[in-house]
Structure 1
């Protein structure tokens, strides 16, 4: 059972060596496994990182593609916006250019009219210069004739003096006194006859010239007139609407009359409501407001007040526009806003059924034309003619006649003395301080007497035409006569058997 020491030592040595060898082998394996694990882990890590890098790259590529798409969209949107902005700017510039071209056209038209006026004035001036030269020649001839006659009178005086001294035995002083008395009596009679003759001639020339000027102006300006009715009527769809306009216990119609200041007349006339009022502006406000209420269908006091206020604002703008249009029509600038407003109110005024604003425009044109022909300023004449009846726009609000009211209004708003005086004195026959006042008064009378302008003148116009034709038929050889163009032209038919060319020219 006992083992020898050598054998044990040998076994221990052999076994310990084997154990050492086994332990050494296990360490190497562990190291190799660790290295392999590290290599495998590093490889796996590299593979994972590689896969993750590819995924990130794909995401990056996707983001870049989206960014590029977004950028392209933004660029296209910006291009479209830029094109739209450029188109809008182009349209705006074209509109501005059209406005400028229109302004230039208007200014060119104004300059052409002024050139024509200046050319006409120059022609008139040349005619007047020729007339002055002709008058100077006639005056020189008359002076020479007077000198010749004076010499002849002196010679006759000397002859008479010698005869008287020789036959009468009078002294020179007595003879001279008697002779001078005889000559004075003869000359007084001759001078009186000549003065009367020249006065009649001057009167005929002045009357002929004034008629020529007035007729020329009336022929150059032809205006159409319509008689404006002072009754305002409103059409309604059915008779049931009358009851809605009246309202419960009449509250709607009372509210309407209170808001507009006019009377609403509802009678048995089918389909019509009558608006009656003293002020034509209020009557127009009432008419338009009632039209709006009927179209709207909501008729009650609060709605009535709302629509009346809205209509008053619209009508005020319309009045200012009519005043501005009238001023532009006659080429008048620099009017005060209040004057333009009062001028526009004349659109709703009538005088003997003649629209006062159209009458004022016609007076302005006639005054300007006649002013050109007699050497006055046509612009001043047109301004005075346009504003002469402006007092009629406010004569129910202020005391006094429309000439005084208009003159006060124009004076307060900076118009010159000529225009103020024309408004004040165009109905005053004794006011002759300013020639423009007489010019406006003449144009006013021409406009009022134009056939059809006022209702009261129609019968007188027909009678005047008949008298003109009757006078023409009273001449020898005249078979028929026709008054045309409101009496400005008379066409005469003569008999060829009774009248030759010379007699026809005389007729």
Structure 2
């Protein structure tokens, strides 16, 4: 920039000189001279201003250079200090490590010296101990020899006799201890089992017996019977052939009986009749069409019932064929007890008992639901239902414990897990409740009658009532024929007669009640 200003000034002088020469040669007037002088002054002023600005720029650049130099110097000094600090820290760490290493070496040297000293002491003590042991063995042998001479009995014989005596005593004590433990365990096991069974029965509800082999189809009027029979009986024959159900049309007013031991076929016949009567078109072709549609509907209902059952019980991953078998149990009965209701009840009872015993609740519920699947075969089988159900469960990939529980719940196969006896007990509880099965209900009522009759056979008894499902017998006696002392004897005599003459589960408590009433009328 300074060079540019100087060049501009020189150009101005040159231009002024040239103009002066031009004006002098041309003999210009005085005004030209003034202009030349002004030009010279302007050129001098420009040169002076340029010099001032150049000096100012030079000073600014020098100042900036000094500042930059100081910054670089400060940065360089900082880096040098940082490096020196890192080197000092590294040197300090190295010195510390050297110091620790020297300390460890010093300690190791001391420990080696102590170890050498202890080894030497141990060797000396071991030698002394061996010498004392030899002396002691010699003394003992001498003493044993003296005792053998005195007792005329060798040490080996005495040792053998002592061992035999101790064996016999230990065996006797062990047998006594084992017997005591077994008795205590049996007592506790019976108490715990009784408590679990009672709690399970109290927590689980039961169903009543149902009809077994006959369904009743109600009709609005007896005129429909003729239409169902058809000309020369062709309609009823077609219906029986299509459903496999015997249709009984007799004098029973407004009712037709459907007889078959297969509840599924009986239900198909009932629904088919309902559709035919509602539609009004009853002829062999229509009968076959309706029966076929009803069969498909029943199959769908069976699958839906199976799915709903396993969903209600929280069972997952059941094979589709097993789901269908579970659904078919809705239309089966065993001893008058609906098979699906019985299996659901067994599943809940088994789950409750498994929870009390700390076993797998889901596995118990699964085995309880499937334990009677062998009772619903589509074709007749010679195998017992427990073995057939076990084969199906194994075929469709059920757990080994579930398979064994199904096969062992009637003792056809050996039980291999704790789940099997639980299923057996749950099945017995479900089937043995009063009213659960037709045969059990009849025997239960007869047992109550026998209990009351046994009490009524004694003199002085006015009435007797069997309560609590036959577990207690309340006996009312006449106060003028039986006194208090005789009441106790009568209670004992009745219990003895029940025990000797009747068959009953569990135990029966006999309570004799004697009451004296004094009645007077104030008039």
TM-score with structure 1 setting the length: 0.57
Seen in structure 2, the aligned counterparts of structure 1 residues 299 and 282 have a Cα distance that, compared at 3 Å, is: same
Give the 5 Å matches for 1:69-468.
185-394=168-377, 396-428=379-411, 431-462=414-445
Secondary structure of 1:274 counterpart: strand
Say if 2:207 and 2:341, in contact at 8 Å, map to a contact too.
no
Distance 1:212 1:481 in 2: 29
Superposed, 1:450-489 pairs within 5 Å as: 450-462=433-445, 486=469
Structure 1 alignment gaps of length 5 or more: 1-163, 471-479, 499-507
Q: Unaligned stretches of 5+ in structure 2?
A: 1-146, 454-462, 475-507, 515-523
Q: CA contact under 8 A between 1:364 and 1:384: conserved in structure 2? A: yes
SS at match of 2:293: helix
Q: 1:263, 1:276 within 8 Å by CA — same for their partners in 2?
A: yes
3-state SS of paired residue (2:286): helix
Aligned to 1:25: none
How much has 1:375 moved relative to structure 2? Answer: 1.5
8 Å Cα contact 2:213-2:262 kept in structure 1: no
| Pairwise CA distance, 1:361 | 0.4
Q: SS of the residue aligned with 1:448?
A: helix
User: CA offsets, 1:150-199, max 9 Å, x none?
Assistant: xxxxxxxxxxxxxx999987565555555555555555444433322222
Question: Aligned equivalents of 2:419 and 2:452: distance in 1?
Answer: 35
* Distance of 2:205 and 2:315 partners within structure 1: 20
Contact 1:360–1:386 (8 Å) recurs in 2 = yes
What CA deviation, in whole Å up to 9, does each residue of 1:105-137 have, x standing for no partner?
Answer: xxxxxxxxxxxxxxxxxxxxxxxxxxxxxxxxx
The answer to whether the 8 Å contact 1:343/1:357 transfers is yes
Structure 2 distance, partners of 1:172, 1:367, is 64
CA RMSD of aligned residues (A): 3.8
User: Aligned pair in 2 of structure 1 residues 266, 459: CA closer, same or farther (>3 Å)?
Assistant: closer
SS of 2:345's equivalent in the other structure is helix
**Alignment partners' CA distance in 2, 1:448 and 1:493:** 24
SS at match of 1:275: strand
Native 8 Å contact 1:481 1:493 kept in 2 = no
The 1:217/1:494 distance shift into structure 2, 3 A limit, reads closer
Larger Rg: 2
Alignment of 1:20-31 (within 5 A): none
